[in-house]
């Protein structure tokens, strides 16, 4: 009877093991569309054999562990590419807005500058005409308004970037705390010898999202926890403790820092990655450069026009009159530009008060083609170069984003092929495990019948 009891236990272990295999396969099938889910595999181990009357007889099978499939290299590649994609994707809408500000259409700043000098050309044909004089003043006001509008749009764009970054802080801090909570749970569960597969999947998904936003780096420790850091090494998560990001204000710009508990460390675009790096590079690098060139253009226009106008004579005999408000330096010129003349008779169309003198108006019209900016650019070509730079930045951004999206799709497909769920494979496994379960049940039935036969003999 001891042999039959051993066979009965063997069938029981086989039945329970195949039931567990079916459960694992079923869980894989159920999570085929779950984001970040990794296929789980049950590892089987033979129960140690027993010496029975001089023979080592096996005692069945058991599930030694259930582990998830993982590819560390692909996981790291996905995080790195997500950080790069986050950097480019965050720029897209703001670069589109920047391209709108510096367009080259009919109502662009470039066209307004051209129309301003065209008005002077028309004035040269009729120096005493009030209509032509008012047209010059009107076009000058439109040029000033164009500069001021562009400057305000740039300022507004910087504020929008700050608002976008500030809105992300709460979600980031929540995810950092969730990673710390998963660290605590995983280390506690796995200390008992059980793999916390689902928790690891969810933690990896959080790390991927944090990479997209912050460009974080993660390193796994021997106890199953992960340490999360910024690119410059500042810690964000250590064990079950999460740091937090904080926002501050420096003038009209928002600043960021990481609260380490005992101290606070400031952050800049070089220490951050992902969306934060992309947005900060726009706010702190590209927009100030564009603003500087816009101010340079406004200052050059005001300086050259004022110099020529002050040298001429108005219809009322006035001289030394500035057309635009005087600007002492280039910084803030786009915001400060404005027409100083209020009386059209003060427009210096000639070099003296003689009626019909149009020499100054002709010189002013010729200024449109003068290379007054660095000796290489006219006003319109300088603006064209500025618009071209903005357009090139937008085009490069779109190209990089498309390339990174394609790369991520390929990496995700590769990841899914290696560690994701294949329904075809799981269906094959399910049939195999079902057959094993049925055979185990048949074994139990057979042993039970044999035991009944033995017992009937004894009776």
Does one domain contain both 170 and 273? yes
Does one domain contain both 51 and 78? no
Q: Is 151 a member of any domain? A: no
Q: What is the DSSP annotation of 126-191?
A: STT-HHHHHHHHHHHHHHHHHHHHHHHHHHHHHHHHHHHHHHHHHHHHHHHHHHHHHHHHHHHHHT
Measured distance CA(301)–CA(186) in Å, rounded: 66
Structural domain boundaries enclosing 207? 74-89+161-285
Does one domain contain both 58 and 80? no
Q: Is 342 a member of any domain? A: no
Does one domain contain both 14 and 80? no
Does one domain contain both 171 and 40? no
Q: What are phi and psi of 44, to 5 degrees?
A: -100, 145
Q: Is 133 a member of any domain? A: no
User: Digits of tens for pLDDT over the chain (459 positions)?
Assistant: 456 777 777 888 888 999 999 999 999 999 999 998 999 999 888 877 666 666 556 677 888 888 999 888 999 999 999 999 999 999 999 999 999 999 887 788 999 999 999 999 999 999 888 999 999 999 999 999 999 999 999 999 999 999 999 999 999 999 999 999 999 999 999 888 888 999 999 999 999 999 999 999 999 998 999 999 998 889 999 999 999 999 988 888 888 999 988 888 988 878 899 999 999 999 999 999 999 999 999 999 999 999 999 999 988 888 999 999 998 888 999 999 999 998 989 998 888 867 788 899 999 999 999 998 888 999 999 999 999 999 999 999 999 999 999 999 999 999 998 999 999 999 999 999 999 999 988 888 887 788 888 778 766
- Of the residues 285, 310, 329, the one at which a domain ends: 285
Q: Is 226 a member of any domain? A: yes
Q: What are phi and psi of 423, to 5 degrees?
A: -60, -40
- Of the residues 259, 285, 311, the one at which a domain ends: 285
Q: Is 46 a member of any domain? A: yes
Does one domain contain both 80 and 210? yes
pTM of the predicted structure, to 2 decimals: 0.86
Does one domain contain both 211 and 267? yes
Q: What are phi and psi of 31, to 5 degrees?
A: -105, 20
Does one domain contain both 60 and 189? no
Does one domain contain both 65 and 165? no
Does one domain contain both 58 and 177? no
Does one domain contain both 185 and 235? yes
Does one domain contain both 205 and 78? yes
When divided into structural domains, the chain yields a total of 2
């Amino acid at each position: 009877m001891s042999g039959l009891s051993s066979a009965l236990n063997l069938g029981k272990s086989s039945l329970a093991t195949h039931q567990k295999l079916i459960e694992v396969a079923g869980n894989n099938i159920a999570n085929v569309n779950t984001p970040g889910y990794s296929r789980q595999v049950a590892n089987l181990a033979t129960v140690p054999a027993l010496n029975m009357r001089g023979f080592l007889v096996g005692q069945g099978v058991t599930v030694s562990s259930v582990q998830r499939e993982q590819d560390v290299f692909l996981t790291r590649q996905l995080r790195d590419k997500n950080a790069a994609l986050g950097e480019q994707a965050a720029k897209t809408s703001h670069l589109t807005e920047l391209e709108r500000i510096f367009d080259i259409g009919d109502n662009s700043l470039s066209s307004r500058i051209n129309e301003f000098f065209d008005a002077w050309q028309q004035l040269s044909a009729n120096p005493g005409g009030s209509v032509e004089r008012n047209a010059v003043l009107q076009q000058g006001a439109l040029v000033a308004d164009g500069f001021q509008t562009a400057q305000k749009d740039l300022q507004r764009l910087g504020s929008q970037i700050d608002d976008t970054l500030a809105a992300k802080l709460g979600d980031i801090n929540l995810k950092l705390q969730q990673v710390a909570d998963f660290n605590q749970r995983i280390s506690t569960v796995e200390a008992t010898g059980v793999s916390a597969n689902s928790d690891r999947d969810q933690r990896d998904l959080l790390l991927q999202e944090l990479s997209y936003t912050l460009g974080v780096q993660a390193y796994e420790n021997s106890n199953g926890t992960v340490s999360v850091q910024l690119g410059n090494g500042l810690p964000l998560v250590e064990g079950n403790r999460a740091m937090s990001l904080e926002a501050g204000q420096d003038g009209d710009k928002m600043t960021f820092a990481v609260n380490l508990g005992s101290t606070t460390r400031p952050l800049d675009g070089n220490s951050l990655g992902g969306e934060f790096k992309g947005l900060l590079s726009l706010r702190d690098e590209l927009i100030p450069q564009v603003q500087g060139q816009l101010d340079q253009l406004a200052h050059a226009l005001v300086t050259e026009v004022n110099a020529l106008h002050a040298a001429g004579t108005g219809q009322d005999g006035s001289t030394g009159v500035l057309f635009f408000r005087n600007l002492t330096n280039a910084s803030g010129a786009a915001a400060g530009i404005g027409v100083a003349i209020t009386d059209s008779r003060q427009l210096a169309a000639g070099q003296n008060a003689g009626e019909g003198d149009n020499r100054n108006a002709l010189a002013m019209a010729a200024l449109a083609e003068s290379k007054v900016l660095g000796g290489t650019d006219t006003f319109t070509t300088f603006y064209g170069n500025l618009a071209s730079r903005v357009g090139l930045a937008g085009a490069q951004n779109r190209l990089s984003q498309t390339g990174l999206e394609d790369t991520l799709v390929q990496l995700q497909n590769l990841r899914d092929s290696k560690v994701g769920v294949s329904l075809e494979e799981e269906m094959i496994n399910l049939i195999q495990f079902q057959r094993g379960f049925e055979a185990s049940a048949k074994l139990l039935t057979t042993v039970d019948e044999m035991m009944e036969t033995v017992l009937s003999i004894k009776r």
